[in-house]
Amino acid sequence: MVQYSRARLDASFGALSDATRRGVLEQLGRSDASITDLAEKFHMTLTGMKKHVGVLEQAGLVTTEKVGRVRTCKLGPRRLEDEMAWIERYRKLWDARFDELDKVVEELKLKEKVDGRKKRE
């Protein structure tokens, strides 16, 4: 299970390391789109876009559905959440970050105190 999550972590990083793929996610955040739409929008060949979408799909960030001859892409289940939940996660990220900042600041304060004492001696 942990192994699986680790693989997913790597897949997410791989998927997000490319500017086009990040653009596709942003685009799909606005509305669903077909591979053809996306290829046009990003000035790519169909084959090229299919590859990008494949990587995103592998990472669970995008799902696709074929209706007739058109394959429609939308954000994967992992990305769908309401604004409140998103903001709470954003807050938690900053909270953890600020906790670490507090520690660094505490250490610098201590160092200043010690240095100040040394100067006075």
Q: 58-117: which residues touch other proteins (CB under 8 A)?
A: 75, 78-81, 83, 86-106, 108-109, 112
How many residues touch other proteins under the rule CB under 8 A: the total is 52
Q: 5-44: which residues touch other proteins (CB under 8 A)?
A: 5, 8-10, 12-14, 16-17, 19-20, 22-23, 25-30
Smallest separation (angstroms) from other proteins to the CB of 48: 15
Smallest separation (angstroms) from other proteins to the CB of 68: 26
Which CB atom, from 12 or from 69, has the smaller least distance to other proteins? 12
Q: How far apart are CA 47 and CA 38, in angstroms?
A: 11
CB 57 within 8 A of CB 12: no
Q: How far apart are CA 105 and CA 76, in angstroms?
A: 40
Please report, for residues 4, 12, 59, the alpha-carbon distance to residue 36 in angstroms, rounded to integers and kept in the order given: 32, 24, 21
Q: How far apart are CA 74 and CA 77, in angstroms?
A: 9
Residue with tokens 């600020």: 98
| Token pair recorded at residue 58 | 């592998």
Q: Which residues bind other proteins (CB under 8 A)?
A: 1-2, 4-5, 8-10, 12-14, 16-17, 19-20, 22-23, 25-30, 75, 78-81, 83, 86-106, 108-109, 112
